Chains A and B, each alone.
Chain A
């Protein structure tokens, strides 16, 4: 059924369709309306789930550690300060191999206070052992959440679904809401092999010595290495059932492109619009959209980059002291694969500053043939 909904409604709908059993969340802009909607549908019985109304995000994630350990399907949503407050427990979730699914509505990290969008909050959690997906539309939010449960429960790794605060969370769009029956056939109830069970008592996450801890981490890494193949098969099945095909990396107008921009989230929507206009004007420009940070989809990315093209990366985030996180990630992947490619690094849109069509044009204009010099950050839209 097609409906006009906001990004946050899309997330709530997906949680309901996924038949989540335990929800725990704490209000923070721009995530709050997810918690409100879920409270409503849990309260009315529309969704048969327990909503644990905690006093902090640290507790929201801790609650899900307990709930997921019983074998139940769990969900939370947060933004920025809330995600940072969970930091300790994020490591715990992946180390304990719990398939928790969470939405992070991207918001910049204070100080100074801001409620507006950038992606620094979730990107700063890249080392916590969570799968990370980035969406650009409300349809994609619904579909990615449903798919994430299937992926997480097979890999025994948690998933974070990220989308831009306000630009996605509060923007209304048409989305096709899948039938419950179809979702049930795609995503059956969770079957936990390891869980708290008084009939088969075990101890979970107890002390380890240096002689064993590394093996636990090795297994987490191995699960991430298995992920690409599994994600591909889940997306194929999703496509067969729902008629919508997803990939970890999406590309647009890249085939003959001489200049391409790599970005993610709502910035990719603006870039897409701009690229189409520039194509009409005869410019050979293209766009690559990153839908996944972890596992880092390097094979898919390299396949998408046209040979000989100039490449820029638009980072709506900043890791002070180095630069944009996506740029660093892509540079690391290039180095790992001995590919000599110079990246133009564009930092824009921090703390919700608009990224306009002109800004995107400025980025394409700034992509020049490599001159062998050190690349530094290009600040776009900065008032100097």
Chain B
């Protein structure tokens, strides 16, 4: 059961920066090294108790606990897989109509729920500029059902539906570009390896009116065929290799790259993950070229 938290870590500005630490944040059933729980915990530390979570089917739903147990220190509404965005809009409307405009509504969804089954509804709430913080923790496949490809899965990647005999042939869907095209007030990417950057973005998102979208890289040891102790390292290499650049965009036009670590090669990132074990050298070269091109594009947009 949820417990009332003990408010003993309030910062100078009156905010509870260790909200999760002050709450018994235990009892989840995520795998060791799961990025999702790390991101969830640190996001809540920034958002604090005046938050309502809306969560579709996926690992975040399943690992929160089995009834009557729940990890979440804030109200946590489970919703059907393709219903995240609309249900969040409903929570927003209901809270607004019952005098609770200040509560932050967070949609917390995997890449499958976001890039695929929930795409239409996500586009709709972005177009309507609903006052919602939509966060996609992206582990680049349907992990909860056992690592099937999603449209967030990178090219050349192994999953159970893109087997060795036919690895994923298509590039990852550019969700950021899609959301940016909606001219939403705030979009940012984040990584659990750069927590200060991530938390600053959560804070900016919370304090921005209208629709906010955070796209987070979320390592998944079983799905990525990686060592649980490598999760943070992989989340860092994703950024260093520029496969997952850290940046933010305001109103669909104002680009800012927020982190520019020294570049490493894409193969440095892919080589320690079993899901990329079947990449041929020409595939790696192609991935590197695509990554460099995307980065150049991003730099151009920042100017």
Q: Which residues of A contact B82 (CB under 8 A)?
A: 58, 62, 88
Which of B50-58, B177-185, B187-195, B227-235 touches A? B50-58
Q: Are A55 and B77 in contact (CB under 8 A)?
A: no
The reply on A275 being an interface residue by CB < 8 A is no
Residue from A64, A92, A198, A202 within 8 A of B90 (CB atoms): A64
Q: What band does the interface of chain A fall in when counting residues whose beta carbon is under 8 Å from B?
A: 35 or more
Given the complex of chains A and B, what is the CA–CA distance between A88 and B95 in angstroms?
Answer: 24
Q: Are B93 and A52 in contact (CB under 8 A)?
A: yes
Q: Which residues of B contact A196 (CB under 8 A)?
A: 52, 75, 77, 91, 94-95
CB contact under 8 A between A52 and B90, given known A196-B75, A198-B49, A201-B2 = yes
Given the complex of chains A and B, what is the CA–CA distance between A201 and B67 in angstroms?
Answer: 14
Q: Which residues of A contact B75 (CB under 8 A)?
A: 196-198, 201-204
Q: What band does the interface of chain B fall in when counting residues whose beta carbon is under 8 Å from A?
A: 35 or more
Q: Which residues of B contact A202 (CB under 8 A)?
A: 1-2, 70, 75-76
Residue from A48, A66, A198, A209 within 8 A of B86 (CB atoms): A66
Q: Are B67 and A207 in contact (CB under 8 A)?
A: yes
Q: Which residues of B contact A21 (CB under 8 A)?
A: 94, 97-98
Q: Are B89 and A52 in contact (CB under 8 A)?
A: yes
Q: Are A62 and B97 in contact (CB under 8 A)?
A: no
Q: Are A54 and B124 in contact (CB under 8 A)?
A: yes
The reply on A339 being an interface residue by CB < 8 A is no
Distance between A240 CB and nearest chain B CB, rounded to angstroms: 30
Residue from B70, B90, B128 within 8 A of A67 (CB atoms): B90
Max count, chain B CB within 10 A of own CB: residue among A58, A63, A68, A202: A63
- A69-93: which residues lie under 8 A (CB-CB) from chain B? 69-72, 74, 88-89, 92
Q: Are A207 and B62 in contact (CB under 8 A)?
A: yes
CB contact under 8 A between A198 and B80, given known A50-B93, A62-B86, A66-B89 = no
Distance between B256 CB and nearest chain A CB, rounded to angstroms: 31
Q: Which residues of A contact B79 (CB under 8 A)?
A: 62, 65-66, 92, 205
Query: Which A-chain residue is minimally distant from B85 (CB atoms)?
Result: A59
Flag A238-263 by CB within 8 Å of B: 1 or 0 each.
00000000000000000000000000
Given the complex of chains A and B, what is the CA–CA distance between A70 and B90 in angstroms?
Answer: 9
The reply on B72 being an interface residue by CB < 8 A is yes
CB contact under 8 A between A206 and B90, given known A50-B97, A212-B67 = no
The reply on A24 being an interface residue by CB < 8 A is yes
Q: Are A55 and B66 in contact (CB under 8 A)?
A: no
Q: Are A56 and B89 in contact (CB under 8 A)?
A: no
Max count, chain A CB within 10 A of own CB: residue among B72, B96, B97: B97
Q: Are A88 and B80 in contact (CB under 8 A)?
A: yes
The reply on B257 being an interface residue by CB < 8 A is no
The reply on A22 being an interface residue by CB < 8 A is yes
Q: Which residues of A contact B147 (CB under 8 A)?
A: none
11 examples of A-B residue contacts, CB within 8 angstroms: A22-B93, A22-B94, A64-B90, A66-B89, A70-B95, A70-B98, A89-B83, A202-B75, A206-B66, A207-B65, A207-B67
Residues of A within 8 A of B (CB): 21-22, 24, 48-50, 52-56, 58-60, 62-72, 74, 88-89, 92, 196-198, 201-209, 212
Residues of B within 8 A of A (CB): 1-2, 4, 49-52, 54, 61-62, 64-67, 70, 72-80, 82-83, 85-98, 100, 103, 120-121, 123-124, 128
Known pairs A72-B97, A196-B94, A203-B78; list 4 more (Cβ under 8 Å). A59-B121, A62-B79, A66-B79, A203-B65
Of all A-B residue pairs in the complex, the 6 with the closest CB atoms, nearest first, are A66-B90, A70-B94, A62-B83, A203-B70, A59-B86, A62-B86
